[in-house]
Amino acid sequence: MSEKLEIEALLPPEVAYDDYARYRALLAAAGLQPGDADFVHLRKRSIDARGRQPLVRLRADIWRTAPPAELFGPWFQYPDVSRARRSVIIVGAGPAGLFAALRAIELGIKPIVLERGKDVRTRRRDLAALNKEHVVNPDSNYCFGEGGAGTYSDGKLYTRSTKRGDIQRILKILVQHGATTDILVDAHPHIGTNKLPMVVAALRDSVLQAGGEVQFDTRVDDLILDGNHLRGVVTAAGVALEADGVILATGHSARDIYELLHRRGVRIEAKPFALGVRVEHQQALIDQAQYRRTDRGPLPAASYSLVHQTQWQGKQRGVFSFCMCPGGFIVPAATAPGEVVVNGMSPSRRDSRYANSGIVTAIELEDMDLPRYGALAGLHLQQQIEQRACQLAGNTQLAPAQRLGDFLKGKVSSELLETSYQPGLVSVNMEQVLGPGLAARLRQGFENFGRKIPGYATNAAQIVGVESRTSAPVRIPRDPATLQHPETKGLFPCGEGAGFAGGIVSAAMDGERCAEAVFAGF
């Protein structure tokens, strides 16, 4: 036998999720006995639920001799950049900003990270006030603050990007900062909202220990423009900062940043985005449908991914599930008073009784009032629907909701179900919130999903509005070669807010790319 034997096995969940039983089963599959191997390294784990009973597919390396040290990390080192000749301002400490900072350090550039929100621990208090007292702090909420929108989320780490090498690199950086090694193995990796804050704080510590700067409660309010060259930024406290480049990683909810760019003549563009509702079921219903067993045993809470093409007034549009959170919670994701926005998150064990998912449809440029609002037309539409949701539900963070069967019949619900949404729900005709076109498309989508998952589109579920922060309604353009704004030198639009990422991993990858682009420009 060579040093390493690659093995694949299909095992019952009870074996696959038990460390010792799995070890023995993998050795047996290779024709070995315990003691024949030095180390069994799990490489991939996915659930195959197509048969009568769900099985777990494992790929592993069995090492007969000691495995190489690089299997275990640490994989990355961050040199001291406190006296570096070059510096970069990074606006926003979300995944894009934090990963840009770490990559800048690797390249010998000092990052200065400016974040409008609070550090990850202090931020928690504002989330409690939001959930319990309905107070929305416009600088500290589920979207703003250290770690960005990704911190109090599900921490789902899958991405549609095909750059596998880069994805693995991001996952390894997360593991080096405290995430479980399971994320290197699972087909659908996730960290969980209870563990993400610790990982985010460790990422920040790496930046600080290397001599980078991270400033909280520091909102960027203005730009230092020298003709068509961005030299730096001005904070809300009036402090002017200059550097060799500005990476703008402010996320899709920083409406004031889009308005600032527009006002200062930096070109931005309206962009299609998706909008809809969040649907909530009992997790047991989803487990039963996906696993065909009422008790899922050691299997993770089941998820789903659904899509259906709809027709309305002669136009075809997809309705699809987005950011499905098995065993999770619906959370209030508004960033300003007077609007209601929902999103989903889940803890690492995904053990709440509820399954929730965004069900959304595309809002195209032709749906927006471009002649009137120009580049901010999508943003305006998004804001209008969020404000309507707030007004119809009574002007607090109570969210408008309707039981799904009632929504399909066009009937206001006389009673709502229990929910994971902490601020609470109000029974509303959701068509009034969404408008007839969106409501018609979502109805067609739900009817189709009900045919795919038994019990899905009934009064055992309810919809909660509105799921409107799926992606940015604005693009900040950039040159594909230099990653700088085509007309404004020194400005590197980055991450989800600029329209170049969707989700934690792709935002992190884009952050790294922008830091490399800053370096390449020297």
Out of 153, 206, 303, 488, point to the residue binding ligand FAD (CB under 6 A): 153
| # of chain residues touching ligand FAD (CB under 6 A) | 42
Cβ proximity to ligand FAD, 26 vs 143, nearer residue = 143
| Interaction between residue 142 and ligand FAD (CB under 6 A) | yes
| Interaction between residue 476 and ligand FAD (CB under 6 A) | no
Out of 26, 89, 104, 115, point to the residue binding ligand FAD (CB under 6 A): 115
Cβ proximity to ligand FAD, 507 vs 515, nearer residue = 507
| Interaction between residue 331 and ligand FAD (CB under 6 A) | yes
**Of 328, 302, 345, 346, which is closest to residue 47 (Cα–Cα)?**
302
Q: Is 181 helix (H, G, I), strand (E, B) or coil?
A: helix
Cβ proximity to ligand FAD, 37 vs 379, nearer residue = 379
Residues with Cβ < 8 Å from 117, sequence gap 6 or more? Answer: 93, 123, 139, 140, 141, 144, 145, 146, 216, 217
- Among 247-255, 291-299, 369-377, 429-437, the segment contacting ligand FAD (CB under 6 A): 247-255
* Pair type for strands 273-282 and 354-363: antiparallel
Q: How far is the CB of 506 from ligand FAD (least distance, A)?
A: 7
**Of 519, 402, 434, which is closest to residue 87 (Cα–Cα)?**
519
Q: What angle do CA 300, 301, 306 make, to 5 degrees?
A: 120
Out of 117, 347, 358, 493, point to the residue binding ligand FAD (CB under 6 A): 117
| Interaction between residue 249 and ligand FAD (CB under 6 A) | yes
Cβ proximity to ligand FAD, 132 vs 451, nearer residue = 132
User: Is the backbone peptide bond immediately before 13 cis, with ω within 30 degrees of 0?
Assistant: no
| Interaction between residue 91 and ligand FAD (CB under 6 A) | yes
Cβ proximity to ligand FAD, 16 vs 170, nearer residue = 170
| Interaction between residue 355 and ligand FAD (CB under 6 A) | no
Out of 192, 276, 332, 503, point to the residue binding ligand FAD (CB under 6 A): 503
Alpha helices in 269-400 (DSSP H): 283-291, 370-373, 377-392
**Of 71, 225, 221, 226, which is closest to residue 138 (Cα–Cα)?**
221
Q: How far is the CB of 176 from ligand FAD (least distance, A)?
A: 19
Please answer whether residues 346 and 327 qualify as being in contact, where contact means their C-beta atoms are separated by less than 8 angstroms.
yes
Residues with Cβ < 8 Å from 411, sequence gap 6 or more? Answer: none
Instruction: Give the pair of three-digit tokens for residue 351.
Output: 């053990």
Please answer whether residues 74 and 53 qualify as being in contact, where contact means their C-beta atoms are separated by less than 8 angstroms.
no
Out of 15, 30, 114, 120, point to the residue binding ligand FAD (CB under 6 A): 114
Provide the binding-site residues for ligand FAD, judged by CB under 6 A: 91-97, 114-117, 142-145, 148-150, 153-156, 219-220, 249-251, 254, 257, 323, 331, 333, 343, 345, 495-497, 501-504, 507
